[in-house]
Amino acid sequence: GENVEQHPSTLSVQEGDSAVIKCTYSDSASNYFPWYKQELGKGPQLIIDIRSNVGEKKDQRIAVTLNKTAKHFSLHITETQPEDSAVYFCAASKPGRRALTFGSGTRLQVQP
Amino acid sequence: DTAVSQTPKYLVTQMGNDKSIKCEQNLGHDTMYWYKQDSKKFLKIMFSYNNKELIINETVPNRFSPKSPDKAHLNLHINSLELGDSAVYFCASSPTGSLSTNEKLFFGSGTQLSVL
């Protein structure tokens, strides 16, 4: 089955710096790659996603890039703010697979 | 108005007991899920139901039995609880279950289960 690896497990940055979280997936049939943000005591929430026919997608301070050849995708957060502090999960899915396979999560801490 | 609500939020119980977690969604979605998040934050799919029909059962012990009385509800019953069952259990829903087509998963706020 699909395996999604995520790095780093923890990331601490200063407010205003950029943060990058990386994921790799194993199943070349995967074609949908969302990112979820989980704040303390809450369920994960979708923040951005990308399909395999697109190399990059941006939404204000967050962007996601995809390298299909390397089976690798990344989340980029620019101008980080303390409210960006949370656990971030990458995930992957493929046609016919009615569930997301999540990475192991990255705890991002933005120091004010 | 909460979209995906699950109860209870916290559940503390003894080993060997049987307990249930309830989940309801008011989004009109066809597909509901149970995910387990362990102490290391790893999120793993347990079950998926589409219109009351079991779609995914991911090598979960048969002590775990989901029940979907209608498409807006998916409950999780756990028999003979073990220490290793301690985790946060998340209910989620999506419109049709076609997650490879940009469908969004909506999560509940989780049930923290502690087995003593």
Q: Which residues of B touch A44 (CB under 8 A)?
A: 43, 90, 105, 107
Give me the pLDDT at residue A90, please. Answer: 97
pLDDT per residue as tens digits for the range B51-95: 888 888 887 899 999 999 999 999 999 999 999 999 999 999 999
Flag residues of chain A having pLDDT under 70: none
Summarize the confidence of residues B83-112 as an average pLDDT: 90
B41 and A87 within 8 Å at the Cβ level: the answer is yes
Q: How many CB pairs under 8 A join A and B?
A: 68
Which of B98, B101, B110 is opposite residue A43, by nearest beta carbon?
Answer: B110
Name the DSSP letter for residue A8.
Answer: -
CA distances for A94 relative to B18, B24, B42, B110, angstroms: 35, 27, 20, 26
Q: Cα–Cα distance between B38 and B100 in angstroms, integer?
A: 25
Q: Which residues of B touch A104 (CB under 8 A)?
A: 40-42
